[in-house]
Copies of this chain bind each other. A is one copy, B any other.
Amino acid sequence: MSYDKGNKRAVVLLSGGLDSATTLAMAQQQGFDCYALSFHYGQRHISELKAANRLASSMGAIEHKVIKLDLRAIGGSALTDDTIDVPETMGTDESKIPVTYVPARNTVFLSLALGWAEVLEAQDIFIGANAVDYSGYPDCRPAFIEAFEALANVATKAGIEGHPFRIHAPLIHMSKAEIIQTGTVLGVDYGQTLSCYQADAEGLACGVCDSCRLRAEGFAAAGIPDPTSYLNK
In Å, the complex CA distance between A117 and B226 comes to 40
Q: A68: which B residues are within 8 A, CB to CB?
A: 68-70, 73
A107–B155 contact, CB under 8 A?
Answer: yes
A71–B143 contact, CB under 8 A?
Answer: no
A103–B76 contact, CB under 8 A?
Answer: no
Which of these, B69, B102, B111, contacts A104 with CB under 8 Å?
Answer: B111
Distance (Å) between the CB of A67 and the closest chain B CB? Answer: 5
In Å, the complex CA distance between A172 and B139 comes to 28
Q: How many copies does the complex hold?
A: 2
Total chain A interface residues with beta-carbon distance under 8 A: 43
B75–A119 contact, CB under 8 A?
Answer: yes
Which of these, B103, B114, B115, B156, contacts A114 with CB under 8 Å?
Answer: B103
In Å, the complex CA distance between A156 and B71 comes to 15
B138–A144 contact, CB under 8 A?
Answer: no
Which of these, B67, B76, B118, B161, contacts A115 with CB under 8 Å?
Answer: B76
Distance (Å) between the CB of A61 and the closest chain B CB? Answer: 16
In Å, the complex CA distance between A131 and B73 comes to 30
Which of these, B71, B103, B141, B150, contacts A150 with CB under 8 Å?
Answer: B150
Chain B CB within 8 A of A74 CB: yes
Cβ-closest chain B residue relative to A136 = B157
9 shortest interchain CB distances as A-B pairs: A104-B115, A76-B119, A103-B118, A103-B115, A147-B151, A108-B111, A107-B111, A104-B114, A143-B154
Chain A: residues with CB nearer than 8 A to chain B? 65, 67-71, 73-76, 97, 101-108, 111-112, 114-116, 118-119, 138-139, 141, 143-144, 147-148, 150-152, 154-157, 159-161
- A107-B111, A107-B151, A108-B111 are known; give 5 further A-B pairs, CB within 8 A: A67-B74, A69-B70, A71-B115, A103-B116, A107-B114
